[in-house]
Each structure stands twice: as structure tokens, then as C-alpha cells.
Structure 1
Amino acid sequence: MALLWAVLQGGYMRKIACISMLALMVFACKKGEEKKAQQVVADAQKGEEKITGTIAKVNGKPIDATLFNQEVDKLTQGGQRTIPEERLSRLKQSVLDRLIEDELLGQEEEKQGITVTKEESDKEFEKYRARFKTEEQFQNYLKYGKTTVEEIRKRLDSALALNKLLEKLGKLNISEEEVKKAYESGIKAYTEPEQVHAMHILIKVAENAPQNEVEAAKKKAMDILAKLKKGADFQELAKQYSDDPGTKEKGGDLGFFRRNMMTPKFEEAAFALKAGEMTKEPVRTPYGFHIIKVVERKEERVKPFEEVRDQIYESLKNRQVFKARRELVEQLKKDAKIEILVDLGIKAPPQPETKKPEPAGQAGAEQEKEKK
């Protein structure tokens, strides 16, 4: 904190001086909506420019700089993220393009009488909220994602309105045959592999350990196995003896896992057991000796079409929405009057130098010289 205060204090007078100079640079603009947006320095210390006023018009309707600046701040993390000037200009242009597109779509939705009811909005939000398992997870998302419930609702309402618009215009049309075809062609994605739910007790010994250490570890594992065969509780012995810090306190529980997730010897032994069975001998791996018990098994299962039908439909719809939106926006742009009232300072990429062709006579003369 002391270092931060010193930096801020040191930059304070420089900031005041810069702001004073900038005050002389403010210029008068035309009155009314036709005036171009003023560009002022928002952070004199960093030289970062902010825009005020109307930045663009779409069919005469103004787009204010407030929303533009909010979106740019998200990309730059409020100016904390260092972005090269040219790239920042292109990001700003991208933000402006998106705001213009949103305005075009909003005007078309209004023209077509598209509305989102409170019931529809609440339903979409609840579906979105259900992605988070707990309220704590949702609140963390809001905090670290630097967003609000209002912003999320606005995005969801906008997406829902777009879907309704595209459907009304006949641009969203997914047949049941298309959904079934996608299911059949992507059947591997809907196949759950064979899995086992296992517990283990590890007696650790290095792979290249001296023979006496290996024998001692194996004897300890054999003694534990003998207790288990006499009816001792597996999880209690795991908590007492296991050298695996990741599962020790959970009674050795590894949860479900599929093939190619464990070391080969461990996997081979685990998948050879039936539910409720335990290895008859300790299993040696590079980590040491394991006693493995399988709690339950899940055989390979292909999810039926009915189970994944909605998931596939949503995936196909999202692709179609992306394509249809792009095509609609291009059409709306052609028919719209769009005025850009701000210069974002985007420089055209440098063009490669082209070598002028030599006159035919000169080239022929040089070739004759080479022959001589």
C-alpha cells in the first residue's frame, strides 16, 4: 500500500498539469444532434482517450458514447490492461460495429412487432441461473466476471428477441430429420464410456527404491489386506494407512474414472474387478503398492436420441442463428443510413511494395549482355 500511495502521489501533480493543458484543447462543436462527438482525455496519466456525446446514428437514431465506453472498459479492464494503440483502435471499432448492429436489429424487431414478455424473460433467466450448482457459484461469477443480474437479463432478452425475429422472418427452420442426422453422425459424442468407481489404499515406495524398502512396503500392504479380508472397514484403514494425500481423508475414494486416466497396471486391475470386489494381492505401480476396491461400475452406454434431442437441437439452432444474424445484418446495413461521428484512429495496414516491371527493350538488352 505504501508503494502504491507513493506512485499515486508522485503522479498527482503530473495529472493536474496534463488536465490543465487539455482544458486548452477543448473545441466548440456544432449544436444539436448533428454535432460530432468530442474526444477528451479521461486518464491523463495514461493518455487514454474517452469519447462523449453521440458517436453514431442509425437511420437518424443516435448511439450515445456511454454504452460504448462501458464496453471498452470491459475490454481494457478499466484501463488497467495495456493494449497496443493500433490494436486498441481496432477493438474500439469492433465495439462500435456491434453497437450499430444491435441498433439495426433493435429497429427491425420494433418494426416486426417483436417483444419479450416478463414471463419469457424470467424463464430464460432461470434456465441460465440453473447452470450454477450453488448460489455461491453464481455470486462469484457476478463478482469476478464484473457483471450484474441486470446485464445478464439484458443479454438474455436480446438473444431471445433475436431468435423470435429470425423465426418470424423464416430464417430459423430446423427439421426433426436434421436433428436425427446430427445424432447419428455424432454418435460417439453421445456415448458414455465404461467407468468404474473405486477406492484404494496406497503404500508408497519409489520405483527404484532398494529391495529392502520394497519388501517392507509390500509387507505393510499385505498386512492391511489381511485385515480387510477379515472384515475391517476399507475407508477407515485408508484414512489410517494410505500414503495418497489426495484421497486419504476421503477413505481412499477416487470417484468414477474411465480408461486411460490411471497408470496401466492400476487401470488393468481396477477394470478387471466386479462391483464389491477387491484385489487379492497388492498392485505395484511406479507410486508403490495399491489395494483396490471397486464400489460400482458403469458399462459403456449410448445415450438414446430422446435423451439428447433438445441438446442437439439447441446446438444446430445456435449455428443457424449465427449465420442468419450475419446475413440479416448485412441486408439491414445496405438499406440503412449509418453515420459514424467519431474517428477511432484506425490506420490502414501497410501495402507491400511492388516492383515496377522493366521495359521490354531494356530487359532484352541485359539478357543479350549476359549471353556475351
Structure 2
Amino acid sequence: MQRTVAVTLVIVSALALGGWLLSAQESQKATESQQSAEVQKSESASPGVVAKVNDKAITTEELNFFLDRVLARLKARNQGQEVPLDRVAEIRKDLIDRLITQEVLFQKAQEEKIVVSEEELNQALASIQQQGTDIAPEKLKPLVMKNMIVDKLVQDNVISKVSVNDQEAEAFYKSKEDQFKHPEQIKASHILIRVEPNDSQEKKEEAKKKMAAIRDEAKAGKDFTELAKQYSEEPGAKETGGDLGYFGRGVMVPSFEEAAFGLKVGEISDIVETQFGYHIIKLTDKRDSGVTPFSEVKDDIKANLRQERIREAVKAWIDDLKAKAKIEVMDGQQ
């Protein structure tokens, strides 16, 4: 399950989840009970309570755990400057609302007996720890578990039910046709041999010589895509084969643009030097200014419309859950 909507807290990394529910009733109850206990262990009573959700307390300790980390990040980003008090108050209020939302969702997930497997949990923990975290493992595990359960709840109840069909996408396309107008565009592929500006002249000559040999292979008829996969030092070239897609003027650096727009379809350029190194370019298509065909933008339109609908549907669903819950925010705590 891919985490699509940011309903959980900023302190835990976004997780790519692949969820499943335990099929055996007893195993499900046992896992559910164990996970609930581990989550509750991190939420033990503390002197202050900032809010309650159906009589479940959200403590000052929980709030401060996240608040301290958010403020530390902001301070580091602002070169050690303290966060203004009015901004701290805004962040505090927002975190309380996030904790309330998460608790509402977690209680709903418990009601629906949603669990995550140990394998999923361990994979998520390993991924976070690999990226680096200052949260102790005994604290991190229940946090991640709670987030994963909540994410799974939202995925199962909302996200998985949202779709956009071709007819809806085409209706959007026709209503927003101006958005799909484009100037003159070309489609090109390239091969890059990297050279840094401060590299020695000897290294630059060596790179240029290598590029000349690759160009000879291309001019002799060897497949340009395969050459790009084999030789190009552009990140991702092994997957894309050097394909840059369609682009207009003003997108690429000047020397690259000038060479690319000067080619005929199927033609391969001379060696082009940019700040990135040495390139050869092959022009694969050219089109005049006009409107991008629906067939070329359909998938993007559907994806964007679906994301928009997901945001709206998730918000409406969460708002409904919160309206039905008994939520108390303690006076004087915000």
C-alpha cells in the first residue's frame, strides 16, 4: 500500500506499505492485542493532558515529543535562530489537531480490527533506521506501528475506492484545453560523459575522445538507446535510454538547446559541451505549436484528478469521523 495522504505525523518517514489482514480469527485477535498494548505503552499517563478523544487522553508528553523535534528542525534550518513564540503556538496547535486526528483514526482502525504484519513492521523500521533517526527503538516501534495501521485504514476505506475513468479525464481535458497548448517542441535523446568544470585538461580530452568514439558507433548505425544505456553517465540513463521526452525552448541549457533545435529528425549532433560534460544528441521527433493530444496526457490527467479526489474524500471522511467522536481540547493548553 502506498502512502498517498499525509494523515500521520511528520516525524516518521513516509512508508511504502504492502498490507494484509490476518485471516485466522484467533491470530488476528492475538496480534491486535499485542500491537494495541505496544502502542498504549508509549502513551502512558503523564501529568498533563492536552486533549481527549472518546476519553482517551493525549498527553503533554506526547505533544512535546513531536513539538521538540519539529522546533529543532526549524532551528537547524534557520541557522540556529529560535522559532518565534507566535509560530511555536501555531505549530503546537497544529500538532494537537494532528494527534487528535490520528487518535480518531487509530480508534476506528481498532474498531475494524486492522493490523499490520510483523514482516511489514520490521521492513518499515529497517527502512527508517537505514535513513537515520534519533528516536529510540522502543519508542519508534509503536509510533511506526500506529502510523501504518492508520494508513492502512485510510487506504482500505477511502483511497482504494477512488478512481477516475477515461471519460472523466477527457471531459477535464476538453474543459481545460488551454492548459494543454504548447509551443514548438522537439523530442530528443542524448548521451552524456560527465566532466566537472575544474577537471584537468587531460581528463577533459579523454572524456571528449570517449564521446567521439561513441558518436562514431551511433553514426555507424548502432542503436542510440542501447548506446545510452551502455555509456551515458546521466543518472537514470540505464532505464530511460537517454530519452528526454518533448521539450520547448528555454528548458535546456543554451548550448544544448541550440544544437538540439538545429537537428533534423533522426540526425545525430556533433559533440556538445555544457557545464555537465560532453553530449551527443539525437532528434527523434519534432512538432509544431498546438495542443497536446489527449492520448499523450490522459494518464497524467487521471493521476492528478485521482489525487485531488483522494484529498477531498479523505478530508470528508476524517471530518465525519471527528464529528462523531467525543473530542475535548483542554482549556489553557493551547
**TM-score, scaled relative to structure 2:** 0.49
The structure having more radius of gyration, on CA atoms, is 1
TM-score (norm 1): 0.45
Kindly indicate whether structure 1 or structure 2 has the higher relative contact order, using CA contacts under 8 Å at least 6 residues apart.
Answer: 2
